[in-house]
Structure 1
Amino acid sequence: MDIFNNRAGFCPSCGSILPPLQVKGNVFCFNCKQEFSPDVYIGEKSEYTINFNSYDPSELNKKVHRESETEADGPVVERKCPKCGHEKMSYATLQLRSADEGQTVFFTCLKCKYKESENS
């Protein structure tokens, strides 16, 4: 008896998610070990679209050679650069260590582009 037959991509017998549809052949449910025709995917549609950023080498060149404080790589904070003494730096954060530890903050001087990091 098929009690889960109303959802495409799910096993009609046990309700488990079925593996991705292969080019040829039937589909096997990993949970109940039953075999189904590819018709179990009828009605399935993708609701997501993936858009990739385009690569423009001229934009990269502009980014490297800019000197204006208005074009920071991220938020700007009042922090003294240890190399040139400028009072403003931009920053970005990443979770590089385990989840129960703080983030790593990367600072970039807006004047000389000196970079430093700090574990928070």
Structure 2
Amino acid sequence: MTDAGPFSGSTAFCARCGSILPLLQEFGSVKCYACETVYDAENFSNLKFQYTIHFNSVSVVTHENILNRDDPEGPVVERKCPKCGNDRMSYATLQLRSADEGQTVFYTCIACKYKETENS
């Protein structure tokens, strides 16, 4: 770090101006966009990021819980599941792309929990 400032020393924020620091831009340093303070890469060596995405996990399905499913993950529509052939799927929507493009619809089978997406 080049110089201490009034803010606490968190590796996600600039110690001088408090702005959020970008990811490593150049090999060996990070430069604050707001005040242009430069930080050495050693300040970020203890940071570790781990992401886990669970998609289409396997679950035990019996004949009883297929017919008597009381806890769908959202509104239910008539849509055939490509995995088990059930004709009902729950759905949720999110705007993941830019505002002038359609939303992304996430479908989950009521019976087997198979998940699929559709860009509408």
Q: Normalization by structure 1: what TM-score?
A: 0.44
Structure showing greater Rg: 1
What TM-score does the superposition give when structure 2 sets the normalisation length?
0.44
**Highest RCO, 1 vs 2 (Cα 8 Å, sep ≥ 6):** 2
